[in-house]
């Protein structure tokens, strides 16, 4: 999933650290989603910050002048701030904070100018009846370009600017914009607020946590194929394991996995979206214990009872029900855990 914020949402929810944004952090991490940052949004954010700096500096200096007027002597106090330096530091802080996610920055194109002029003349949304909203038009054209890049997956646009992007009650995109998407055969989901988006998406996966997974997974079913998982480990893992354990004899020739069982714990998992509503695929990183017989050239066998292994499987869930277990174990997903 790819999520695009407008400037207001980015400023109020993200930079001010609202509770909704903390929920979004958990959602993005679980679903391995991407935050998409159009450059026009960042530029507008910096512009608003710069104006706010000048406004507050002006307020402080006005108060200082009034203070000077009632003191016996001129205190000569004035606030001086390097505004350009502060704006640059603010930009770096924003990018650093966004950089904790999978961030994708999207530039706008000079070629948008001709389209923007047409929208202004013909009052095509997001232009207003007065032909204003230049930056909103750049943002919309950037989004259209991004959707046409064929990256795949669901794209979400969150904007509180219903006057220019939404319908009369803000429940959907403006009909003009929706028509434009349909004509270009593009899909975009619109939400007025971050809270509205979270109600539709994040709440649905709130139950997906390690405790729920441990209790809901059919471990007996997984154990039936645990031996197959270990047998699918690449040969080099066995040789490496052999070299690291002095109990094993030299000249390793053959091994046999006799038993294998998963540990009833989940060290790590990731949630991936599907195209079906409220259905998710969960990538589970699991560990287990195997009993392996190692045989050397002289047909002498050494048995190790507690050989740890790791692997990944995929399950499909919907409405707190596990629908499917993917029980194919690929070589690159499975290995032995080397312990001292």
pLDDT given at position 272: 73
Q: Name the domain boundary from 176, 204, 232.
A: 204
pLDDT given at position 330: 67
Digit-coded pLDDT (tens) for 286-333: 889 999 888 776 667 777 788 888 888 889 988 788 988 887 676 666
Check whether residue 112 and residue 126 sit in a common domain.
Answer: yes
Check whether residue 80 and residue 190 sit in a common domain.
Answer: yes
Check whether residue 244 and residue 136 sit in a common domain.
Answer: no
Q: Is the pLDDT of residue 264 over 90?
A: yes
**Residue in 128, 132, 155, 160 with CA at minimum distance from that of residue 142:** 155
CB of 33 closer than 8 Å to CB of 198:
no
Check whether residue 35 and residue 139 sit in a common domain.
Answer: yes
Check whether residue 195 and residue 172 sit in a common domain.
Answer: yes
Q: Name the domain boundary from 153, 183, 204.
A: 204
pLDDT given at position 131: 46
**Separation CA 278–CA 318 (nearest Å):** 6
Residue 340: pLDDT band with limits 50, 70, 90:
very low
**Residue in 2, 247, 295, 30 with CA at minimum distance from that of residue 147:** 2
Higher pLDDT, 32 or 5: 5
Strand runs labelled E in 88-165: 102-106, 155-158
Segment 122-132 shows an average pLDDT of 61
Check whether residue 137 and residue 269 sit in a common domain.
Answer: no
Share of the chain above pLDDT 70, in %: 82
Check whether residue 184 and residue 250 sit in a common domain.
Answer: no
Phi and psi at 207, nearest 5°, equal -75, -15
Check whether residue 155 and residue 217 sit in a common domain.
Answer: no
Segment 230-250 shows an average pLDDT of 74
**Separation CA 123–CA 129 (nearest Å):** 6
Higher pLDDT, 132 or 6: 6
Share of the chain above pLDDT 90, in %: 6
Asked whether the CA dihedral 281, 285, 290, 295 is positive or negative, the reply is: positive
pLDDT given at position 250: 64
CB of 37 closer than 8 Å to CB of 105:
yes
**Separation CA 261–CA 203 (nearest Å):** 33
DSSP conformation class of 331: G
Q: Which residues contact 25 (CB under 8 A, 6 or more apart)?
A: 101
Q: Is the pLDDT of residue 129 over 60?
A: no
Q: Is the pLDDT of residue 173 over 90?
A: no
Q: At what angle do helices 134-147 and 175-184 cross, to 10 degrees?
A: 30
CB of 310 closer than 8 Å to CB of 337:
yes
- Token readout for 135 is 């930056």
Domain range holding 75?
2-204
- Token readout for 53 is 């700096």
Residue 179's alpha-carbon distances to 121, 226, 316, 325, in angstroms, are 19, 52, 34, 40
Q: Are strands 301-318 and 321-326 parallel, antiparallel or unpaired?
A: antiparallel
Check whether residue 60 and residue 144 sit in a common domain.
Answer: yes
Q: Could you identify the residue written with the tokens 């402080």?
A: 60
Flag the least confident range among 14-28, 158-172, 279-293: 14-28
pLDDT given at position 45: 87
Q: Name the domain boundary from 153, 188, 204.
A: 204
pLDDT given at position 262: 93
How many CB atoms within 10 Å of residue 69? 8
pTM for the whole structure: 0.57
Total domains present in the chain? 2
Name residue 158's beta-bridge partners: 5, 191
pLDDT given at position 165: 85
DSSP conformation class of 158: E
Phi and psi at 307, nearest 5°, equal -85, 120
Segment 218-235 shows an average pLDDT of 85
**Separation CA 209–CA 199 (nearest Å):** 18
Check whether residue 313 and residue 214 sit in a common domain.
Answer: yes
Q: Is the pLDDT of residue 200 over 90?
A: no
What DSSP letter does each residue of 78-91 carry, written as one string? -----HHHHHHHHH
**Separation CA 245–CA 303 (nearest Å):** 12
Flag the least confident range among 27-41, 112-126, 203-217, 286-300: 112-126
CB of 61 closer than 8 Å to CB of 79:
yes
pLDDT given at position 216: 92
Segment 66-81 shows an average pLDDT of 76
Check whether residue 249 and residue 153 sit in a common domain.
Answer: no
pLDDT given at position 219: 92
- Token readout for 158 is 């969150």
Q: Residue 196's domain is classified under what CATH number?
A: 3.40.50.1010
Digit-coded pLDDT (tens) for 41-73: 888 888 888 888 888 888 888 888 888 878 767
Segment 225-251 shows an average pLDDT of 75
Residue 307's alpha-carbon distances to 176, 253, 259, in angstroms, are 63, 18, 10
Check whether residue 47 and residue 133 sit in a common domain.
Answer: yes
pLDDT given at position 85: 92
Residue 23 backbone zone (phi > 0: left; psi -120 to 50: alpha; other: beta): alpha
């Amino acid at each position: 999933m790819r999520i695009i914020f407008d400037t207001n949402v980015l400023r109020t929810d993200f930079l001010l650290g609202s509770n909704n944004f903390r929920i979004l952090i958990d959602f993005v991490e679980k679903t391995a989603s991407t935050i998409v940052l159009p450059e026009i949004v960042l530029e507008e954010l910096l512009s608003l910050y710069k104006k706010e700096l000048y406004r507050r500096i002006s307020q402080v200096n006005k108060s200082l002048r009034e203070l000077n007027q009632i003191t016996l002597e001129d205190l000569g106090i004035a606030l001086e701030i390097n505004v350009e330096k502060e704006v640059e530091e603010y930009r770096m802080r924003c990018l650093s904070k966004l950089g904790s996610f999978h961030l994708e920055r999207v530039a706008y194109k000079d070629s948008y100018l001709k389209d923007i002029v047409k929208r202004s003349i013909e009052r095509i949304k997001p232009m207003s009846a007065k032909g204003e909203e230049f930056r909103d038009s750049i943002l919309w054209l950037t989004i259209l370009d991004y959707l046409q890049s064929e990256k795949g997956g669901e794209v979400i646009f969150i904007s509180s600017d219903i006057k220019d992007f939404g319908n009369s009650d803000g429940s959907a995109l403006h009909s003009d914009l929706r028509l434009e998407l349909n004509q270009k055969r593009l899909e975009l989901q619109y939400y007025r607020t971050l809270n509205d988006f979270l109600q539709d998406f994040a709440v649905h996966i709130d139950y997906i946590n390690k405790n729920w997974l441990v209790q809901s997974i059919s471990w007996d079913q997984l154990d039936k194929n645990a031996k197959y998982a270990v047998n699918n480990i690449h040969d080099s893992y066995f040789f490496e394991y052999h070299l690291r354990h002095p109990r094993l004899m030299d000249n390793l020739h053959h091994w046999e996995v006799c038993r294998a069982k998963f540990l009833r714990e989940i060290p790590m998992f990731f949630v991936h979206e599907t195209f079906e509503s409220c259905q998710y695929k969960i990538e589970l990183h699991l560990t287990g214990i195997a009993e392996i017989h190692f045989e050397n050239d002289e047909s002498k066998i050494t048995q190790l009872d507690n050989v740890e292994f790791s692997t990944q499987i995929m399950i499909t869930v919907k409405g707190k029900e596990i629908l499917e277990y993917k029980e194919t174990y690929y070589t690159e997903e499975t290995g032995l855990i080397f312990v001292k």
